[in-house]
Amino acid sequence: MRTAVLGASGLVGRKMLTLLEDCSWLSGDPVLLTSARSAGTEISFRGRNLTCREVSAEDFAGVDLALFSAGGGTSRQWAPIAAAAGCVVVDNSSAWRMDPLVPLVVPEINGQLAKSQPGIIANPNCSTIQIVMAVSPLDKVFGVKECHVTTLQAISGAGQAAVQEILQQTRDFPEDSNSAGFFPRPMAYNVLPAIGAKTEFGGYEEETKVLHEMRRIMDRKDDLHITCTATRVPVLDGHSAAIRVVCEKAITPQKALAVLEKVPGVIVTADPHDFHTAREIAGNNDVYVGRVRQDPGCERSLLMWVVADNLLKGAAWNAVQIAGVVAGEKRR
């Protein structure tokens, strides 16, 4: 599979390249594409330096698969061009996620949708992926009726410049300016319950994404009652989510663990007091499910603490997994 990465110099793009180094289906070097601004950036791949170039329509002609991680606007512009050139696009932006013609894929949950090889496949929102990795397997056995989530999300979800900003703000604390570059309020030693633009019903984009994308991936409608409060916390890499599910059937931690420990890509901690933390699991591809405990007020309800690296399973790794499914189909 001749492969291109659009947005190759970004945080997620670089993670994609690192993961591609281990992909046996990759044919030759990946083509590294960026905006004009980042063209010329050199990135090491399998021990050699490759140079990013500005994306153009010709780039997709000789490419079988393109991993996009360059924002919604860029994706809306270039994904149709790449697809028309015969390229399968795996897109990490939110541009296509709710398009009924574009599958929204988490390989462990609905990977079969990537096998039809359409032009564009959407990679879900980072928080959505880790939540759905824990909740969808429970849905299939116990019938999830409600899912209530509070996320505690890492700074790296806002890009590498935001990471540099929080590190600098924290060094300058308490004298850091309130001018707020990447965040609407001072972020050092603070928590912000607002991620993305304002949406309906007092929500924010991140919360709305979780709601709509979870239902789409789980093939459910509004009979799946979801609420989400999405917060940004001073963590560099790794999102955490406090999740409460209410099921149709009675559920216990033991029953839930028996289901979850069979899910590829999920690591469970059996002790209901035990958990992983964002900082500990950063750099790993898996989703970590801990503190699986009974809601003491309801035999159909369970609480969980779910942690994953937002740049890996939440973005680059899920996209590279999708690419692997496409590659596997093309080989058949």
| Active-site residue list | 126, 239
Number of Cβ within a 10 Å radius of residue 46? 12
Rounded CA gap, 201 and 166, in Å? 30
- Verify binding: residue 22, a second copy, rule CB under 8 A: no
Residue 212 binds a second copy, judged by CB under 8 A:
no
Q: Kindly state whether residue 28 participates in binding a second copy, applying the rule CB under 8 A.
A: no
How many alpha carbons fall within 13 Å on the CB side of residue 120?
Answer: 25
Asked whether position 233 contacts a second copy by CB under 8 A, the answer is yes
Query: Segment contacting a second copy (CB under 8 A): 26-34, 120-128, 146-154, 321-329?
Result: 146-154
- The phi, psi pair for 52, rounded to 5°, reads -75, 145
| CA 21 to chain CA centroid, nearest Å | 20
Report how far apart, in Å, the C-alpha atoms of 289 and of each of 6, 58, 241 are: 32, 44, 10
Q: Among 41, 160, 227, 252, which residue interacts with a second copy (rule: CB under 8 A)?
A: 227
For residues 157 and 3, give the distance between their C-alpha atoms in angstroms, rounded to a whole number. 24
Q: Does 279 bind a second copy (CB under 8 A)?
A: yes
Q: Is 142 in the site for a second copy (CB under 8 A)?
A: no
Q: Judged by CB under 8 A, does residue 141 bind a second copy?
A: no
Shortest reach from residue 295's CB to a second copy, in Å:
5
Q: Which of 202, 221, 331, 332 binds a second copy (CB under 8 A)?
A: 202
Cα distance between residue 81 and residue 86, in whole Å: 9
Q: Where are the beta strands (DSSP E) in 29-177?
A: 31-34, 42-45, 48-51, 53-54, 65-68, 88-91, 120-122, 144-153
Q: Is 292 in the site for a second copy (CB under 8 A)?
A: yes
Q: Is 257 in the site for a second copy (CB under 8 A)?
A: no
| Residue 170 within binding range of a second copy, rule CB under 8 A | yes
Q: What sign for the dihedral angle of Cα 200, 206, 211, 217?
A: positive
Among 97, 209, 216, 291, indicate the residue that binds a second copy (CB under 8 A): 291
Which residues are at the interface with a second copy (CB under 8 A)? 146, 148, 150, 152, 170-171, 185-186, 189-194, 198, 201-204, 211, 222, 225-227, 229, 231, 233-236, 240, 242, 244, 253, 272-273, 275, 277-280, 290-298, 301, 303, 305
